[in-house]
A = this chain, B = another copy of it.
Amino acid sequence: MRQSKVYLTEEDQSLLLHVLFQQKYASEVLACELADIESGLKAADAAHYTRVTDLFHRLRDADQ
């Protein structure tokens, strides 16, 4: 997977996701994306908005 200008190996991706959850920031970063879309700061198609919303709710519900 190429993200920004860096190629991420499977191991890099797993490490990044692991740290994201360790830092308890997974649902937070999705909330920021939703806020940017809802405020018009960021354009996004309905499919992306729906996927982010669904994953956000799954993660938040799991944390409660």
Which A residues lie at the B interface, using CB under 8 A? 1, 3-6, 8, 11-23, 25-26, 29-30, 32-33, 36, 42, 51-52, 55, 58-59, 62-63
Contact = CB atoms under 8 A, between A and B. Distances in A.
A29 B1 CA distance: 19
B17 A13 contact: yes
16 contacts: A3-B17, A3-B21, A4-B59, A4-B62, A5-B62, A11-B51, A13-B13, A16-B17, A16-B20, A16-B30, A20-B29, A22-B33, A22-B42, A23-B32, A25-B29, A29-B29
A6 B33 CA distance: 20
Contacts of A15: 51-52, 55
